[in-house]
Amino acid sequence: MKEIRTNRGYKLSEVASALQKAIRRGDARLAGYWAIEMFESNFREYLWRRLMTISAEDCWGVITGEIEALYRSWGNINKAKKGGGRIFASKATILLCQARKCRDADHLTNLVYDPKRIDERQLMADLEEARKTPEPIPDYAFDCHTREGRSRGKTKAGFFRDEFDALNPRQPGLFDADLEAMEK
């Protein structure tokens, strides 16, 4: 069986593997080279499928939505000019390289679910027990937006502070200083 090759003579399967490994290691220059090699070799849809898969397998957080948006943007440009929009694949590759890495989604699929690391009988027993004792509503759910919270004296000012303090992990925000000023 003949191996599919890229414009510069690389085996496509090896290019796709090198792309993913370079992204996993955060090597934007090398990952970008392989991404553009796939793009210019007219494996554009395959490149996007790989980038989407990498976003789920190797990256932490909600980066997949950003990659999907870049894919849609590429599609819009590509409709107007066939073969255009390489910049979107480049940006997606760079974002994936810079993204925090976490293999939890892949590990859940391949290390937990597939080998059935959770005993089916124990799982069914746990589900049955959970159905008997419903989870209580946590106290933090009773804030100024609920009748119960208001009856407990919860205020909007307290809501802003409590919910800000609960952010985990917290990304510094544009209006953090306004919250601090509100408390003074």
- pLDDT of 128 reads 83
pTM assigned to the model: 0.67
Cβ–Cβ under 8 Å, residues 103 and 58? yes
| Tens-digit pLDDT profile for residues 14-28 | 999 999 999 999 999
Q: Which residue has the tokens 């849809």?
A: 45
Q: Which helix (H) or strand (E) holds 53?
A: helix 44-57
Kindly state the percentage of the chain with pLDDT values over 70. Answer: 96
Q: What's the pLDDT band for 69 if we cut at 50, 70, 90?
A: very high
In order, the DSSP letters of 57-88 are HTB-SSHHHHHHHHHHHHHHHHHHSTT--HHH
